[in-house]
Amino acid sequence: MPKQARAWQRMLSGRRLDLLDPTPMDIEIEDIAHGLAFVARWNGQTRGDWPYSVAEHSLLVEEIFSRQNPQSPRWQLAALLHDAPEYVIGDMISPVKAAVGPSYGELDLRLTASVHIRFGLPAILPIEIKKAIKAADKVSAWLEAVQIAGFSEVEANKLFGRPDSAVLRGLEIKLRPPAVVRADFIARHLALLARL
C-alpha cells in the first residue's frame, strides 16, 4: 500500500497545522503574520526593491474597509484576516485559481473558518460583511495594479472597476521589508482585538 502524502505543516511557533482538517488551536497570529509577510502578491511581478506581500495587502484592505466602517472592530479584524489562509497555501492569481478548480476554494474555506473561530469571528461571515470586504479588496487590487503592477488605469478599470476618488484619497502603496510589515500586521491585529 502506498504511503499517504503528508498533509500538515510545521509552523515556526511549533504548531503542526493539518491543512485538510485545520483546528483553531493550531493557529497563531505570529505564524499568519510571518507567512503573509513573505508571500508575494501578483506572483512577485511588482515594481520596487521589496515584494508586495499579502500582509501589506491585508493591511491596506483593512484600512480601506475601516474608512467605510469605522465603528466595526470585529469586522475590521475580519478584513485584516481576509487572506489569512494564504500563509500556508500561498497567493494564487485568479487565473490559476480557476485552473485549479473547486478544491482550492474548499481548502481556503476550511482554513478561513479555523482562523475566524480562533480569533472570535463567525466561521462564515455575514454576506453583507463579506461583500464589503470584497469591495475593499477590489479597491486595493486597483491601487496595486496601477501603482506597482504595471497596469494602465484603463486596464485596471476594466478588470477591477474604477474606485471612487474619495476612497482613494491619501492611499499610496509603499513597499517595505517583510519584518516591518510582519510587525505592523501583528500590531494592528492586537489593536483590533483590544477594541472587541
So where are the chain's domains?
Answer: 27-172
Burial of 21 (0-12, 13-18, 19+ CB in 10 A): exposed
CA distance 183 to 132: 26
**pLDDT for 122:** 98
Confidence of residue 3 (pLDDT cuts 50, 70, 90): confident
Distance CA 47, CA 73 (A): 32
Which residue type, as a one-letter code, is found at position 180? V
CA distance to 32, 67, 148, per residue, from 184 (Å): 12, 18, 21
Q: For the ranges 5-9, 47-51, 94-98, which has the lowest average pLDDT? A: 94-98
Lowest mean pLDDT of 7-21, 29-43, 150-164, name the range.
7-21
DSSP string, 74-110: HHHHHHHTTTTTHHHH----HHHHHHH-HHHHHHHHH
- For residue 12, is pLDDT > 90? yes
Grid cell digits, residue 20: 485538510
Task: Report the CATH fold assignment for 27-172.
Answer: Hypothetical protein af1432 (1.10.3210)
Mean pLDDT of the chain: 93
pLDDT for position 161: 95
State residue 90's pLDDT score: 87
In the chain, % of residues over pLDDT 90:
82
The model carries a pTM of 0.94
Average pLDDT of the segment spanning 21-37: 97
Q: Which helix (H) or strand (E) holds 64?
A: helix 54-68
55-106 pLDDT per residue, tens: 999 999 999 999 999 989 999 999 999 999 999 998 877 777 777 777 778 8
pLDDT digits (tens, 9 = 90+) for 105-115: 888 999 999 99
98 or 132, higher pLDDT: 132
- Position 20 confidence tier, pLDDT thresholds 50, 70, 90: confident
Among 4-8, 34-38, 186-190, the least confident range: 4-8
- The C-alpha angle 109, 57, 31, rounded to 5 degrees, equals 60
